Structure 1
Amino acid sequence: MSQSVDRALTILGSLGDGPVTLEQAANSIGVHKSTALRLLRTLEEHGFVHRLDDRRYRLGGRLLSLAHRALEEIDVRRIAAPYLAALNRRFGVTVQLAVLQDDEVLYLDELAGRWHPGAGRPSRIGRRASTTGTAIGRVLLAGLPEDGTREDDLPAELARVRRQGWAAESAEHREPVACVAAPVAGSAGRPVAACAVSAPTYEMAPFELVRLLPELLCTAEAISLAYGGSPTPRWCENRCGARPAGHASRT
């Protein structure tokens, strides 16, 4: 590891205990204050460090955002897996889990439906896609921004998705595939992911897929409750037995 990278990581580690002065940062890596200042300014330019009014330095928003995102993405996939598998087994539709990353949909998990067995269709796991023209993309976008933007400030379609709590698409990814998606809520009540059911339109008409909406919403609620979010438990208890008995461990 290069010396500069090692020093920068050491400084970031020291900030984990709270804000520090320039002198304290320099002492943590054993260098002159001018060297520490150059490192801190570079980290500040990239959003990893923030300079306070009293000239102390604390962890920056970008670092916190990356750490939070990584934690959510890893945890939500593991927690959602059994619920997605149950939905896939019961109805034979393709089931997906995705998050919003860098303004794109990132697919974390997928279980193929009975119309796409084996190698008949490449998995979307790990693949990215545009949010445009996808139900899962609209659900994720409807949960943004995080600064409390009112529905009046959202595009009409996203405002509608936010109000109703789900989205549908009859030509997912511009293919003859219908899709219905619903949000998975995190601890702050905002969507941290979205789950979806889909099927080829030549096998299941869009209106038939929409009939699975209560089951999809139940699954999304169950995942949210298991994840430790704060949704309103609507169908979970009487449909799939999910109860807010406790929050999942993240250790």
Structure 2
Amino acid sequence: MPSSGNAGYGGDVAGRTNSPGETVSRRLLTVLDCFDVAHPALTLTEIAKRSGLPISTARRLITELRDWGGLERLADGRYRIGMRLWTIGTLAPQQRGLREAALPYMHDLFQATQENIQLTVLEGHQALCIEKISSTKAVPTLTQVGGRLPLHATGIGKCILAFSGKELLKSLAEAGLPRMTPHTITQPGRLATALAEVRKTGVAYSYQEMTLGAVSVAAPILALDGRVRGALGIVAHSRAAVERLAPAVRTAALGIARSIR
């Protein structure tokens, strides 16, 4: 689960469409899709370029979103997501319930290890970070809350992928498994073998597969029916013996799962 230097990994440029039949609501969403962890603030021109909308259309939609509270204008003229959207986002039941249940366990792990602790859920074909605890003593990471990570190259991603069914793995394999470092597993067969081991042991590892100098150990958070709710992991310096942390991570993940059932 080492973090990528590209916090918005896999995030496509939003929209790039100006279909005559496109609804106003769809265009509003296209504007919002322009923002991500790597692009938290954008100018009008940047929004128009990333969305594929004409400047005039982008300006009108931005004004509507700003009046509603979905966007706010900074002193330098750029725009960022507004507080109203943030407030609505916090109501998402899966993320909110999981995060609230996980925080006590995350703090315990952090106090015991002083390493980066991350909580993620599946979103599309990526792992979405919904909570993170770290310190200046831990290995530097650029992953932020709201950032996305590849499933095949991270410990938390492998946990999610291992318990998400064969179709997701097949889809990822067909799209190609990007090589993030020389250690990244890019062969579907090797990845399938690694995921079988995750299902067997209940933990996943990433040895400098996402970022050189960082390793991770993670455990899945499972529902009673075996569905994966998310994954909890520790990211540490490559010199750390993360295998020794596996029991603690797995115990914490089991505790979180019991708390949300």
Normalising by the smaller structure, the TM-score range is 0.5 to 0.7
Alignment partner for residue 128 of structure 1, among 138, 148, 157?
A: 148
Aligned partners of 1:97 and 1:172: how far apart in 2? 19
Largest Rg, 1 or 2: 1
Aligned partners of 1:111 and 1:97: how far apart in 2? 9
How far has the Cα of 1:114 moved from its partner?
A: 4.8
Alignment partner for residue 87 of structure 1, among 103, 109, 130?
A: 109
TM-score, normalised on structure 2? 0.52
Structure 1 residue 177 and structure 2 residue 214: aligned? yes
Aligned amino acid, residue 204 of structure 2: A
Aligned counterpart, 1:200: 237
Counterpart contact for 1:172–1:179, Cα < 8 Å: no
TM-score, normalised on structure 1? 0.54
Counterpart contact for 2:115–2:138, Cα < 8 Å: no
Aligned counterpart, 2:164: 144
How far has the Cα of 1:172 moved from its partner?
A: 4.5
Aligned counterpart, 2:226: 189
Alignment partner for residue 219 of structure 1, among 247, 252, 258?
A: 252
After superposing on structure 2, the runs of 4+ consecutive aligned residues of structure 1 that deviate more than 3 Å are 120-123
Where do 5+ consecutive residues of structure 1 fail to align?
Answer: 6-69, 148-153, 229-251
Aligned amino acid, residue 156 of structure 1: T
Aligned partners of 1:121 and 1:179: how far apart in 2? 12
RMSD over equivalenced CA pairs, Å = 2.8
String of CA shifts for 1:47-90, please: whole Å, max 9, x gaps. Answer: xxxxxxxxxxxxxxxxxxxxxxx422221011101110111011
Greater RCO, 1 or 2 (C-alpha within 8 Å, sep 6+): 2
Aligned counterpart, 1:96: 118
How far has the Cα of 1:121 moved from its partner?
A: 4.9
| % identical equivalent positions | 27
Aligned counterpart, 1:66: none
Aligned amino acid, residue 78 of structure 1: E
Distance 1:178 1:86, change over 3 A: same
Residue 115 of structure 1 aligns to a residue whose secondary structure is: coil
